[in-house]
Structure 1
Amino acid sequence: MSERDTSAGADGSGIRGSPRRAVSILTFGYFVGFAGVVVYGPVAAEFEEVLGLSGLLLGLLVAAPQLTGSLLRIPFGAWVDDVGAKKPFAILLGLSVVGMGGLLTILVLAYPDGLTMTHYPLIFVFGSLSGCGIAAFSVGIADTSYWYRSRHRGTMLAIFAGLGTTSPGLFTIVAPFALLYLGLTGTYAAWFLFLLVGTGIFVLYAVDSPYFQFRKRGFDEEAAKARAKENGQELFPGGDAMESIREAATIRRSWLLTAMFFVSFGGYLALTVWYPSYWSNLHGLDVQTAGIVTALAFTLSSPLFRASGGAISDRFGGEETTIASFVVVVIATLALVVTRDLYLAIAATVFLGAGMGIASAAIYQLLPKYVPEAVGGASGLIGGIGGFGGFVVPPILGLFVDVQGVSGYATGFVVYLVLGVVSLAIAGLLYQSRSSTVRSRSPTPADD
């Protein structure tokens, strides 16, 4: 597809935007929305102290953004096939603005002296809304696939996912310093402004892929496809998206891949918000240093490893890469369970982020091999339910702290030790069965 920007001609043959513009604004929008992952994590200690939270309630609070951010990926990703990407993406960012605005209102009216546990349900709800932008992942993945031909698609998908997911790492560094200089209310006021401006920029510059542009001009389906092909689009919506999801849900292999993604990407989401408390409470780091260590050792590094995971999978095979990745996860979490040494914990965290990041990429590389009947639907299930691990696990880690005290921050990693072993078993099962699974199957467009 040509990179030049064109305008609709008198006959409606032109399109607005270009692939580069489209993916640039999609990546920017995802960067803005994905920052909601850490809406509470970097400043969790402040809420923990003011509200007097238990480990369980703290875990639920820091995980709140993942509740909507993961589950909304499924319906909003499917919605793209009906209306294009701009509308679903903008609505998700708008919900994030509402959530952040609600949280800011509570802080303005009640913080610090009037903020009590009676506010906890509202704080949880607004935190969940603030995480809606996380769900834009599935929207952006679909739209990027429509804008780019197969020879460039993999690279552009990696750029979208890799650069977009760097925002939690940057915010994990910035938020504690903002808390120091602006206070809690000032920090969220700045975040609200960032979201509001970012959403406005997205709405102003985002463009749907050519097929949807022509449909909105009144072309019927076949004419819209023909015009879109003339403008370089080669991939189109494959029919009823929700039916594809339902079909994928009936296939056992979809759930095996989802289970592994629950551990890899869900683990990345969960530990991104949990690590600041881990470094502060177990290793005695101040809030600012804990944010920097979390970002550099895990939240920023893991997406970089993930960006290389596709190429590694193509070179060595998705099954082999997944097995090796989960071996790294198991070894790293074992080290985190037993060590109380700061530097060894940092090293183990880097390896854990590498294992989770590369595994996440390898799982999507395996998807078209094992679920060719419903690639789109399985992608929604894996991304949505798999990412839900970011919400489920932090409260469990909090229970370890409630039962064991500070040492529970270390022993809680046994959760990912067990999940890593289970994922390793699943990856081994896929490796053993791959010859019969892929026999006589021709490549699909999703293999590109």
Structure 2
Amino acid sequence: MRNRGLVSGTLAFFAGFAAVALFGTTALRIGPLLHLNLVEVSWLVAIPTLTGAFLRIPFSLLVDNLGRKTILLQLLLGLLGLLGIIFTLMHLNSLSSQLIYYLLLLFGALAGTGISTFSSGVTYVSYFFPQKEQGKALGIFAGLGNTAPGIFTTLLPFALSYLGLVYSYVAWALFLSIMILIYILVSIDPPFLHFLKEGKTRKDAEALSKSMGLDIVPSHSLSRSLVKALRSPRIWALVFMYLTSFGGFEALTEWLPLYWKSFLHLTPVEAGILTGTIYSLLTAVVRIPGGWISDRINGELVSTIAYLTMIVGSLVFLFAFSLSLAVVAEIIIAVGMGMANGAVFKLVPRYSPTAVSGASGLVGGLGSAGGLLLPPIMGYVATLLNFPASFLVFTILAIISLVLSVLLLRASEAMRA
């Protein structure tokens, strides 16, 4: 039962995250055709990430009532977005430029719903595992799911070369349709929700869940779950920490191709390999041992080590005026971010065991907003100083996150003393 929950949640997140892999390329190609200015192109590029970030909160809460149907709804909305983009691209010559732009904004936002499967998936998977196994389970879920950007960024040039833009979207839509079918066949409701659907009272459902070793159950109400998370200072600390590590991961996925091409003068293919295959995949995969180690020792200590590692990586970037040193910096910061991501979501259900849906929605939704906020800030710093100086943003964020980790670690040790 636990494995089915983990496998179906992981596959759904991987598929949802992969659904928007082509959209950035679409925005850049369509911009000149529609004579869009920089602001309009920026909105087009950002819209899937925007909806993917802020829809995490409501969809995470819905898991407490709808169970596995919540993620299915998100995947179907993502598929609808892909189909809408295909329709729009097939009618470029028959629709007005303004209509095409608004349609791409609409369908891009729908496709971005797939990204929001992260927080609903965290809530869904959490209900299948006890506290002592949360780090490993959520590390596998998020680590494997987060490989989607790296894998599809690597595949993207080949898909575009052989299939073209429209048929690349057709291939993506077929892939997502197959994954939705697999999810329908494999997924099951978490035990607590399954017991409620059988007609058992909440008290009996809690007792049966605890007899299975499951010590995390949904809140009595959606509003109570969110309010409880909002009132927790420790959850707000995790929000900032996750903004640094996962929001930073999203930001660097956008920023590094520009860094490689503009500062170190690499080709687009080389920039794609360094960003997608090395940085993105490494960050995602390291999240798995990050969560597993957090189960063995504690998440606060792992996050402390992780943010120290991030600081080292960002400082190396400041002095990386050669490709070899820049790659070393990229690897160091990727390891730090991956470990931090795994540790933070080990702590979410521990700090908020009766409000996991609200807490994971807040941490995942607001934390991922870093992917929207950080690239413009880095661009501003690079304009004022130089490209390497842009990584000072991560030095500052990682120092603040390190301080928060140490404070959480001391509080945890004091409680155990």
TM-score (structure 1 length as normaliser): 0.80
Consecutive unaligned residues of structure 2, counting only runs of 5 or more, are: none
3-state SS, counterpart of residue 208 of structure 1: coil
Aligned to 2:55: 72
Aligned to 2:128: 147
Consecutive unaligned residues of structure 1, counting only runs of 5 or more, are: 1-17, 441-448
Aligned to 1:390: 371
2-side partners of 1:138 and 1:249: how far apart? 16
Check the 8 A contact 1:59/1:396 in 2, yes or no: no
> AA paired with 2:87?
T
Identify if the C-alpha distance between structure 1 residues 239 and 38 changes in structure 2 by more than 3 Å, giving closer, same or farther.
same
> AA paired with 1:423?
S
Check the 8 A contact 1:43/1:179 in 2, yes or no: no
Aligned ranges for residues 39-58 of structure 1 at < 5 Å? 39-41=22-24, 46=29
Q: Among residues 399, 403, 411, which one is paired with 1:421 in the alignment?
A: 399
* Counterpart check, 1:264 vs 2:245: yes
Identify if the C-alpha distance between structure 1 residues 286 and 334 changes in structure 2 by more than 3 Å, giving closer, same or farther.
same
> AA paired with 2:6?
V
Aligned to 1:446: none
Aligned to 1:335: 316
The percent identity for this pair of structures is 37
Q: Among residues 257, 270, 278, which one is paired with 1:289 in the alignment?
A: 270
State the superposition RMSD in angstroms: 3.4
Identify if the C-alpha distance between structure 1 residues 123 and 335 changes in structure 2 by more than 3 Å, giving closer, same or farther.
farther
Aligned to 1:89: 71
Check the 8 A contact 1:29/1:202 in 2, yes or no: yes
Aligned to 1:10: none
1-side partners of 2:7 and 2:20: how far apart? 21
Worse-matched range after superposition: 178-187 or 347-356: 178-187
Worse-matched range after superposition: 114-123 or 337-346: 114-123
> AA paired with 1:107?
L
Check the 8 A contact 2:217/2:354 in 1, yes or no: no
Identify if the C-alpha distance between structure 1 residues 369 and 69 changes in structure 2 by more than 3 Å, giving closer, same or farther.
same
Identify if the C-alpha distance between structure 1 residues 161 and 128 changes in structure 2 by more than 3 Å, giving closer, same or farther.
same
* Counterpart check, 1:107 vs 2:89: yes
2-side partners of 1:151 and 1:65: how far apart? 34
Q: Among residues 302, 305, 313, which one is paired with 2:283 in the alignment?
A: 302
* Deviation (angstroms), 1:192: 2.1
2-side partners of 1:22 and 1:46: how far apart? 39
Check the 8 A contact 1:177/1:288 in 2, yes or no: no
1-side partners of 2:318 and 2:287: how far apart? 24
Aligned residues: 417
Identify if the C-alpha distance between structure 1 residues 222 and 362 changes in structure 2 by more than 3 Å, giving closer, same or farther.
closer
1-side partners of 2:195 and 2:254: how far apart? 42
1-side partners of 2:386 and 2:96: how far apart? 27
Q: After superposition, what is the alpha-carbon deviation per residue over 1:61-87, rounded to whole angstroms, capped at 9, x for unaligned?
A: 444322122222222111111221x21
* Deviation (angstroms), 1:375: 5.4
Aligned to 1:178: 159
1-side partners of 2:239 and 2:255: how far apart? 22
Identify if the C-alpha distance between structure 1 residues 398 and 198 changes in structure 2 by more than 3 Å, giving closer, same or farther.
farther
TM-score (structure 2 length as normaliser): 0.85
